[in-house]
Amino acid sequence: MTLVTFDHCVIHVLDWERSNAFYREVIGADVIPNGAGFVYRIGAAQLNCHGPNLQPDPKARIPVPPGGSDLCFTWPEPIDGAIAHLGKAGVAIELGPVQRIGVGGKGTSVYFRDPDGSLMEFISYA
């Protein structure tokens, strides 16, 4: 079998302006217009967004509700930098720093929420 790689997943947002600002400023995504909505590109992956004024086709059997996602992003430096970054952005840390295992092995994570309540995680392997 050919080795596959991750391409994208879907999140649901309630307010484009608020979510675009959060994913651009806090996560570091490139916010790209896509029809009546947007997609967020982060490194080699992409978050497709369902939100206001969109009728995605095909639809998941049980669509992701706003706040129903749980996403982890690699922080490229020691986790203290992520903590400082979140503090400057006014984003509350829900848990951490804590030890976790991700694609890079053992790391240190902090957890926080996006504007719709989805769980976000920065993990550092540094």
Q: How far, CA to CA in Å, does 110 sit from each of 23, 62, 74, 84?
A: 16, 28, 11, 11
Please check the confidence at residue 80 and state whether its pLDDT lies above 90: yes
Relative to beta strand 30-34, strand 37-42 is antiparallel
pLDDT tens digits, one per residue of 27-76: 999 999 998 899 999 998 999 998 887 777 777 777 788 999 999 999 99
Q: Where are the domains of the chain?
A: 8-124
pLDDT of residue 88: 97
pTM: 0.90
What's the CA gap between 108 and 99, in Å, rounded? 5
Q: Whose CA is closest to 38, among 50, 28, 27?
A: 50
Please give the CATH architecture assigned to the domain spanning 8-124: Roll (3.10)
Give the per-residue pLDDT at 20.
97
Give the separation between CA 90 and CA 84, rounded to whole angstroms: 10
